[in-house]
Structure 1
Amino acid sequence: MEIKKLTIKECEYSFIYDENQNMWRALENSNLIDGQTIDMEIDLANFNDSFDWQDVEKFIESLKNNNLLYLKRIEDAKAVLKTLFKVINKNGYDKEFFDYLDFNLSGIDFKGYCSNVNLKDKFEYDYFFFPQYSKDPYRDIGSFVWRSNFRDALLLGVSCDRI
């Protein structure tokens, strides 16, 4: 098992390489975004031959330095995801259900810098979420991953792995 440790602003991040998925993962990390315990994934398929740990360090520094901005983006993503969920499932649930629907942040999929020549200094990443009925957190409403795609602070879109 290959492990890469990064120390950024006195916090240590341990990434474990999963060769079956060709991905680095830092699991259950509470030092990325305040108040959140999340995973960070780095799918090497997104990088071709250009993967650099310094880019990961810069992204984590950006998360730490701009925490309020990233927290706001999480709330923005949740609102859009909730709207998409309502549209897809409008005949399956009632209004009360939607009032208690929430999306729990599970992780970040870091994709590196944007490949557009004019935006090469912008990070691209996904937040990934799981839906939850907050009135009854153990109610099964599916375990599909819902994603929000970002370029720096710009929300580019949302998707669900089942759609």
Structure 2
Amino acid sequence: MAAVAVPSPVPAAAPTETQKKNRIQVSNTKKPLFFYVNLAKRYIQQHDEVELSALGMAITTVVTISEILKNNGLATEKKVLTSTVGMKDENKGRVVQKAKIEIVLGKSEKFDSLMTTAVTAATTPATTAATTPATTAATTATTVFSSSPSYPSLHLWLKLKLIMSLLSLT
């Protein structure tokens, strides 16, 4: 009987590019936009950066998430990569090229103070002090932003932010 060589067990590989703990693979059909925005905030809090990636039609969702975080002062853009990926089409059985984007966002300098302000504003009960249009708009904007809104609420929030900025100019 011939001796058979048995390979020794190989130790588990270190985390690779596909196993990153701060990567979010975005779909434009599975979860709402603000699910990903809030998840990205949490990843930035935990890891100081987040990598958003998407294929095909979900690319616009990744760009929107990135812009929301940047425009609110929560993140800065570190890297944007675009490429194409060959994927097998299940219906036709052939390889088709799909566009891919990867955006890496880092924690902004104001991130911690903005998140603290948002949490404080959301948990502080309303007072009976005199309210001005500016404080009413600020309270409404905070409420709308912190409650995982859908697209119509996002537009409302942007309008309220514009009103707040106009009120602060006078």
Please tell me the TM-score bracket, short chain as reference.
under 0.3
Q: TM-score, normalised by structure 2?
A: 0.26
The structure showing larger relative contact order (alpha-carbon pairs under 8 Å, at least 6 residues apart) is 2
Question: Which has more helix, going by share of residues?
Answer: 2
